[in-house]
């Protein structure tokens, strides 16, 4: 085992199973797979499954296959295929040469279906979907056999061939496995394994008008690829007997084992692709990669690092019971990563002009700022200073309480890396809004400390008006106002959308060192949080910065206050 999955941490139950199977010699080599359906972009829940499957492969020097489970042509597309590949790669994983599509197996799957018919284990059924439901029974009552259940093998073969050749209209019949209509597991009551669907497929075109169902396709695809451990989420627990039945009945040469782990749920968001698609289609967000979406592409655009997502998956672990993870855990993961690596810069989000009246108009000087106060090895940068600067609007208060250690008339503060300044006068516009402060500086305090040792408690950030870069800044809040937007069955989850999830500031000002930033750079704007350039909407002329995360968990603080 490699060091990546830290050796001090006890193995999760899946890794325990794998270690046991290797030790006993049951398997010499582990093969896992990540099997997304290309019907949407991947989300943070998929990241959990990716980290598990590709992580296990990496730890065991083996391979993880990327397999597109593309059996539902109406909803799938190559755009999604490409986006998924891109996301897996970005997370830092590689499938090498093992890129597969369930649609590559359509011929083999068809032949397996024919074999089932020949074994007397599948039949063509003409019940419509409503009748099929009635015949299926309930949790407490057994189902009834379909009147078509006892057709001869020949008849079934002929009908299945007609289905395949497009001779029968959609919805008129389906191929069902012949298992047990009285099984306590409803999924075993003669499940449909092939249906007619006259829809073009993004890879096989119009070759097929019948498509296999998940339960038939998945186990056989795993088998064809020689997967050893087929890891899926808990809701597939009841599908496991069917997975095994198909492989046992067909006496396949290998029989992968399915294990289930808990699905990731995070509060204040929705996780299903179907719901995320609604947000995209109804323009509640700007697309799959909207920085408020917990899609991998949204997190990437927001500024999350692959390392922070992998760390998050490591922290939440691999349980066997469904649970909810607090959004704060994800935010902490990225905060921890950025705290280590992101250089510090000065940026004023809501600017208020300050004129330093005793500083010569034509003078300019370069001060020295540290890139990471706790990490001197990250170096320093020059910070230009002149007579006019901007400070944060909220760093001034007219009737300030005693404990307000920032700007107010008569009070002295430290400008980060610069001088001590004292506010002398407030300029207002006709409406009474404060539009400018007049201050004086103490020329003997360059760097921020006073030679006479006088104490100045407050330190604020600032940007030179002459040198600063104007930028748009986008601040994000949670996309939903409810912890579980799905909680109320009578309400649509979209009713819980947070109308204030995006706040755009158009007049923010950045220190000039940010002129060369690229979307791959991440910064701490001192006192404001972590930020990066928006990879889509930003340009050299009109930069746009996203706030990745605040400096502290503001939600946790709010909860404590209550």
88-126 per-residue burial string, b: 16 or more CB within 10 A, e: under 16:
beebebebeeeebbbbbbbeebbebbbebbeeebbbbbe
In the complex, minimum distance from the CB of residue 41 to ligand ATP, in angstroms, rounded to a whole number: 10
In the complex, minimum distance from the CB of residue 499 to Mg ion, in angstroms, rounded to a whole number: 31
Read out DSSP for 126-177? ---HHHHHHHH--SSS-----TTTT--HHHHHHHHHHHHTT-S-TTS-EEEE
Mask for 90-129, x = binds ligand ATP (CB under 6 A)? ----------------------------------------
Sign of CA dihedral 295, 298, 302, 306: positive
For residue 347, give the nearest of 533, 200, 218 by alpha carbon: 533
Q: Which residues bind Mg ion (CB under 5 A)?
A: 37
Which of residues 12, 21, 37, 483 is near ligand ATP by CB under 6 A? Answer: 37
Chain residue whose CB lies nearest Mg ion: 37
Which of residues 15, 46, 301, 474 is near ligand ATP by CB under 6 A? Answer: 46
Chain centroid to Cα 232, Å, comes to: 18
Q: Which stretch binds ligand ATP (CB under 6 A): 263-271, 434-442, 461-469, 533-541?
A: 263-271
In the complex, minimum distance from the CB of residue 53 to ligand ATP, in angstroms, rounded to a whole number: 8
Of 37 and 483, CB closest to Mg ion: 37
In the complex, minimum distance from the CB of residue 69 to ligand ATP, in angstroms, rounded to a whole number: 6
Return the CA Rg of the chain. 31
Residue labelled with tokens 């794998």: 18
Of 159 and 264, CB closest to ligand ATP: 264
Sign of CA dihedral 19, 22, 27, 28: positive
In the complex, minimum distance from the CB of residue 277 to Mg ion, in angstroms, rounded to a whole number: 13
Which of residues 247, 264, 327, 533 is near ligand ATP by CB under 6 A? Answer: 264
Residues of span 286-305 touching ligand ATP by CB under 6 A? none
Residue 45 binds which one of ligand ATP, Mg ion, none, with CB within 5 to 8 A depending on kind?
ligand ATP
Residues of span 126-155 touching ligand ATP by CB under 6 A? none
Q: Is residue 85 involved in binding ligand ATP (CB under 6 A)?
A: no
Outline where DSSP puts E strands in 411-539: 412-415, 420-428, 434-441, 459-460, 462-464, 469-476, 502-510, 523-525, 529-533
Spatial separation of the C-alpha atoms in residues 160 and 196, rounded to whole Å: 10
Which of residues 199, 200, 204, 233 is near ligand ATP by CB under 6 A? Answer: 233
CA 215 to each of CA 64, 192, 246, 435: distance values in angstroms, whole numbers, following the listed order:
21, 9, 9, 67
Cite the active site residues.
37, 263, 273
Residues lying near ligand ATP in the complex (CB under 6 A): 35-37, 45-46, 48-49, 69, 232-233, 263-264, 271-274
């Amino acid at each position: 085992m490699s060091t990546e999955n830290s050796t001090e941490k006890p193995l999760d139950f899946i890794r325990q199973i794998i270690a046991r199977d290797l030790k006993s010699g049951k398997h010499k080599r582990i093969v896992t797979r990540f099997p997304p359906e290309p019907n949407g972009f991947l989300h943070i829940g998929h990241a959990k499954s990716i980290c598990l499957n590709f992580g296990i492969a990496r730890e065991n020097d083996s391979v993880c296959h990327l397999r597109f489970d593309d059996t539902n042509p109406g909803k799938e597309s190559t755009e999604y295929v490409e986006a998924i590949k891109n996301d897996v790669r970005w997370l830092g994983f590689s499938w090498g040469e093992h890129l597969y599509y369930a649609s590559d197996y359509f011929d083999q799957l068809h032949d397996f279906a024919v074999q089932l018919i020949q074994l007397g284990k599948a039949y063509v059924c003409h019940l419509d979907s409503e009748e099929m439901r009635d015949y299926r029974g309930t949790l407490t009552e057994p189902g009834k056999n379909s009147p078509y259940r006892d057709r001869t093998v020949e008849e079934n073969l002929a009908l299945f061939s007609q289905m395949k050749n497009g001779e029968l209209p959609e919805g008129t019949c389906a191929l069902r496995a012949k298992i047990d209509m009285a099984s306590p597991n409803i999924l075993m009551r003669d499940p449909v394994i092939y249906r007619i669907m006259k829809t073009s497929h993004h890879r096989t075109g119009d070759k097929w008008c019948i498509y296999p169902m998940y339960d038939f396709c998945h186990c056989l695809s795993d088998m064809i690829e020689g997967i050893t451990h087929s890891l899926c989420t808990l809701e597939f627990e009841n599908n496991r007997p069917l997975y095994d039945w198909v492989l046992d009945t067909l006496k396949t040469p290998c029989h992968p084992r399915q294990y289930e782990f808990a699905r990731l749920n995070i509060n204040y968001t929705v996780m299903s692709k179907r719901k995320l698609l609604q947000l995209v289609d109804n323009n509640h967000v700007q697309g799959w990669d909207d920085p408020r979406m917990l899609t991998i592409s949204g997190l990437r655009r927001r500024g999350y690092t692959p390392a922070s997502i992998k760390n998050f998956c490591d922290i939440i672990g691999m349980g066997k019971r469904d649970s909810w993870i607090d959004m704060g855990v994800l935010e902490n993961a990225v905060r921890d990563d950025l705290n280590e690596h992101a250089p510090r810069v000065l940026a004023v989000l809501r600017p208020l002009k300050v004129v330093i009246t005793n500083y010569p108009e034509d003078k300019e000087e370069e001060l020295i700022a540290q890139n990471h106060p706790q990490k001197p090895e990250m170096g320093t940068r020059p910070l230009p200073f002149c007579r006019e600067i901007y400070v944060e609007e909220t760093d001034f208060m007219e009737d300030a309480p005693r404990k307000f250690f920032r700007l107010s008339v008569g009070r002295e503060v430290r400008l980060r890396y610069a001088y001590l300044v004292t506010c002398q006068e407030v300029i207002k516009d006709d409406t009474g809004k404060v539009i400018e402060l007049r201050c004086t500086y103490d020329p003997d305090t360059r760097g921020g400390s006073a030679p006479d040792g006088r104490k100045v408690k407050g330190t604020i950030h600032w940007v030179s008006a002459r040198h600063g870069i104007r930028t748009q800044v986008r601040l994000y809040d949670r996309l939903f106002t409810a912890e579980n937007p799905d909680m109320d069955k009578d309400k649509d989850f979209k009713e819980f959308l947070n109308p204030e999830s995006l706040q755009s500031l158009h007049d923010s000002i950045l220190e000039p060192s940010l002129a060369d930033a690229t979307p791959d750079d991440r910064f701490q704007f001192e006192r404001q949080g972590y930020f990066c350039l928006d990879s889509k909407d930003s340009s050299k002329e009109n930069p746009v910065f996203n706030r990745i995360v605040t400096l502290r968990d503001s939600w946790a603080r709010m909860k404590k206050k209550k």
